Amino acid sequence: MVGYILFLVSHSAVVRYVACFLVGSTAFVMGPLSCAHVSANVLSDTSRSSAIATNVLFGNIGGLVSSWSYLSKDAPHYRIGNGLNLTCSSMQLIVSFVALLWLTWDNKRRDDYDPREQFEELSEQQNTRLDWRHPAFRWKL
């Protein structure tokens, strides 16, 4: 986010060069980190494959949108493209923070619940089929 803010507020070549490094360093880190977080919180192989594919899909949609948001008529400062990227980065930060709060709350709720009596009569296959809905499951933060 800092890189896009620097792009929007500065016309200095040095500051914009630093902004390029800030944007690039976070862009290359967020892809693998988000895929790792998604795969760590999904149990079955089929669900994991679908979750990772959905995560990559949203990343690719971002690339598609950004290719149409840096318009030649907006050169050389590209306020539309940098503004959209700043907005999306801000939304991602807010959604991530809300998800962190929800995951923490759900783990706490699961810690306070004793699932033994409810799930003792279920077979191993039925327990496995519950996936993330099983009370013994904990979200990985």
Residue with tokens 């496995």: 128
pTM for the model: 0.82
Give me the pLDDT at residue 68, please: 92
27 pLDDT band, cuts 50/70/90, is: confident
Q: What is the pLDDT of residue 101?
A: 98
**103-116 residue pLDDT tens:** 999 999 988 887 77
| C-alpha closest to that of 13 among 76, 85, 107, 101 | 76
Q: Are 110 and 138 in contact (CB under 8 A)?
A: yes
Alpha-carbon span 110 to 68, nearest angstrom: 44
